[in-house]
Amino acid sequence: EVQLVESGGGLVQPGGSLRLSCAASQFTFSDYYMSWVRQAPGKGLEWVANINQDGNEESYVDSVKGRFTISRDNAKNSLYLQMNSLRAEDTAVYYCARDWVGYLNSPYYFDSWGQGTLVTVSS
Amino acid sequence: DIQMTQFPSTLSASVGDRVTITCRASQNMGTWLAWYQQKPGKAPKLLIYKASSLESGVPSRFSGSGSETEFTLTISSLQPDDFATYYCQEYNTYSRTFGQGTKVEIK
């Protein structure tokens, strides 16, 4: 069974930084696109960023461009999200999710999810 | 930007009821749509992809239909384990937008 375990969440002041990690197991990590998806308290789901299998193509939702960086280490089966210049509106549970890819290696839907890690941005 | 509108936002139903949730897209999605179930404090779980394909291991009482701009998720006979929030998600655009969710509550 696919396992995705996030870590690194916590309380951070506005303008601060945080790095999330996701440890993957029970599948060939380097074969898959990976994403971060977040959920603000009591709200819906929002895709944040994804990265291709080799780690050389990244995409971001507009609201985090220039502030967040997604990366991966295939040797360590790990996904990361470096979050800088954090704002109150970034407060959310952040999920690591495996992408199912389709035509022309495009990411489609999320077929496996971690349990999430809570990031709270507050003074 | 694409908009994904789900309705109703909340649905009250009883065990055994047939339940239908609708997701409407602001532009043609083809059949590039997925449905997820989320229980409180838990991660979402994939139920349906490509509008009507059932994910492995998902009970057959769940079904999806629709194309282009209108999609439905149907639970043929609601079970106690099905009380949860359901989200649609398009994957026709790079932003892969989710609907705002439909909470299925016990009547």
Q: How far is CA B35 from the centre of its chain?
A: 4
Please give the pLDDT value at position B45: 98
Q: Amino acid identity, residue B20?
A: T
The count of C-alpha atoms lying within 13 angstroms of the C-alpha of A35, restricted to the half-sphere facing its C-beta, is 26
B 19-58 → A contacts, CB under 8 A: 32, 34, 36, 38, 42-46, 49, 55
Distance, in Å, from the CA atom of A96 to the CA atom of B67, rounded to the nearest integer, reads 29
Distance, in Å, from the CA atom of B101 to the CA atom of B7, rounded to the nearest integer, reads 8
Q: Do B87 and A45 touch (CB under 8 A)?
A: yes
Distance, in Å, from the CA atom of B77 to the CA atom of B15, rounded to the nearest integer, reads 7
Q: Do A61 and B101 touch (CB under 8 A)?
A: no
The residues of A whose Cβ lies within 8 A of any Cβ of B are 44-47, 59, 61, 95, 100, 102, 106-116
Structure tokens at A111: 């077929």
What band does A107 get if pLDDT is binned at 50, 70 and 90? confident
Distance, in Å, from the CA atom of B9 to the CA atom of A119, rounded to the nearest integer, reads 26
Q: Amino acid identity, residue B101?
A: G
Q: Do A45 and B44 touch (CB under 8 A)?
A: yes
Give the residue-averaged pLDDT of A45-59. Answer: 96
List pLDDT tens digits, range B76-101: 999 999 999 999 999 988 889 999 99
H or E stretch covering B46 = strand B45-49
Our CA-based measurement puts residue A35 at a distance from the nearest CA of chain B, in whole angstroms, of 11
Q: CB of B3 within 8 A of CB of B26? A: yes
List pLDDT tens digits, range B40-51: 999 999 999 999
The count of C-alpha atoms lying within 13 angstroms of the C-alpha of B62, restricted to the half-sphere facing its C-beta, is 23
> Cα separations (Å) of A29 from A47, A68, B16, B83?
20, 22, 40, 33
